């Protein structure tokens, strides 16, 4: 959905064409829909444990899929700062869902891994989530689901740049 510049088109102070009202309306709607989807994702963290923040589920899934990682790598992946990451990791460790150990290659860094209990809880929530998605999307054509996944992947790629 690229913006095309036409003669006489209004431009903002930075030289970028001002979007038309229809585009602004779409942007506001998309922002709202993404916020609602994110809130629904946060519920999965609470299904693992009621006291967890939404990013905690993403951390557990990442560790479950990719294994032991540095805390700094996890912070970059989730898109949070050191303080937020530290708080998340401390909460997960107190619940016995992750374990941290000093990185032998760099004593200042920590390696984080999911525990067996963490794997068990993530697997339980993932299966429940998958069953819920299958139920909720059962009336969708499989091509629509694939297109949604493709578009979300594309959106994430653009947003991560």
Question: Residue 65: is its pLDDT beyond 70?
Answer: yes
Over residues 94-120, mean pLDDT: 92
What are 112's strand-pairing partners?
A: 69, 100
The Cα–Cα gap between 17 and 13 comes to: 9
Domains of the chain: 21-159 (1.10.10.10)
CA torsion, points 141, 144, 148, 153, in degrees to nearest 10? 110
CA atoms of 74 and 84, how far apart (whole Å): 11
Span 87-115, average pLDDT: 92
More confident position, 118 or 128: 118
Mean pLDDT estimate for the chain: 81
Residue 40 pLDDT class (50, 70, 90 cuts): low
How confident is residue 13, by pLDDT bands cut at 50, 70 and 90?
low
CA distance linking residue 152 with residue 127, whole number of Å = 21
**What does the alpha-carbon distance between residue 28 and residue 49 come to, in Å, rounded to a whole number?**
32
């Amino acid at each position: 959905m690229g913006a095309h510049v036409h003669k006489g088109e209004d431009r903002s102070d930075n030289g970028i064409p001002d979007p038309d009202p229809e585009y602004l309306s779409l942007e506001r709607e998309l922002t709202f829909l993404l916020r609602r989807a994110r809130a629904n994702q946060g519920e999965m963290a609470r299904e693992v444990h009621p006291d967890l923040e939404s990013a905690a589920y993403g951390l557990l899934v990442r560790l479950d899929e990719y294994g032991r990682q540095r805390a700094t790598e996890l912070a970059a992946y989730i898109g949070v700062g050191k303080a937020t990451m530290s708080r998340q990791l401390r909460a997960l460790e107190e619940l016995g869902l992750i374990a941290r150990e000093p990185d032998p290659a760099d004593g200042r860094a920590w390696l984080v891994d999911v525990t067996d209990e963490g794997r068990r809880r993530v697997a339980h929530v993932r299966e429940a989530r998958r069953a819920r998605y299958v139920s909720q999307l059962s009336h969708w054509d499989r091509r629509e689901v694939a297109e949604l996944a493709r578009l979300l992947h594309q959106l994430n790629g653009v947003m991560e740049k």
